[in-house]
A and B are shown apart, each in its own frame.
Chain A
């Protein structure tokens, strides 16, 4: 699994995510959750409403792949995409993040970050953004 940086964790926890799911034959469905909790360095947890569970449970049962784009102002300031495997326990959706991409517009759009050395990702972030998460 991919280890998230403090900045990535802070943004995911603070603004939640637009969560992309798909049926096994490739029809996407998106739910939006405005907060999240990191369970460990690579796993994020979202609390879902009954309607949200109803909407994606079939997809996730047949295809656990999920994509996460930070929500709210994170869609502007936190130019990341996270991908991984997901599962539901009770009313909680867990995503085990396996891939992290930069979505910063320009030449670094699509750059895969989790393949870089962890310290290099920290340097990458420090040289491009002044914040370490959403405004508190």
Chain B
């Protein structure tokens, strides 16, 4: 489903007015894994992309159970959205015509395969900035469900026309 303007504004790096997010995946046996991610963007209005900086457990989980949830963490400013959908990691070496959920891996990797060059993390404080940005691929989630995570409306579907 397509994201609205407010969501696309939120799903950017913090330096461009966006938010840090948490990405939750889980093993096939149901052991969840929740990690903060700061290199994030929206592609073609309905895919959320995150730089894969060697997210080990995330990769193992997505390889056996390709579904994820992305929740905005900070700053939130009322943007209490939870995005769920099929997810995978796209990286160089896939067949040239490889597609995931209707999008070509080559298109995503061409634009976002070198995140450090496209969006250098200049706004990240030195004590939490990785010494070298090493990207392995692009975590790609196609949004199929958007819900509210605020305590009073937890689980309610969000109308993207707002």
Contacts and interface: CB of A to CB of B under 8 A. Distances in A.
Given A26-B30, A51-B151, A106 B71 contact: no
A21 interface: yes
Nearest to A129: B127
Nearest to B149: A32
Contacts of B152: 49, 51
A31 interface: yes
Given A32-B71, A76-B38, A21 B32 contact: yes
Interface stretch (A5-13, A36-44, A66-74, A116-124): A66-74
Contacts of B55: 109-110
Contacts of A55: 154-155
A76 B26 contact: no
Contacts of B132: 106
A30 B128 contact: no
A30 B22 contact: yes
Interface residues of B, number: 47
B26 A26 contact: yes
A80 to B, nearest CB: 9
B87 to A, nearest CB: 10
Given A20-B26, A110-B57, A76 B36 contact: yes
A102 to B, nearest CB: 10
B74 A81 contact: no
Interface of B: 20-22, 24-36, 38, 53-57, 65, 67-69, 71, 73-74, 76, 80, 82, 84, 127-132, 149-156
11 contacts: A20-B26, A26-B28, A28-B68, A31-B154, A32-B80, A32-B151, A48-B151, A66-B32, A70-B36, A76-B20, A110-B57
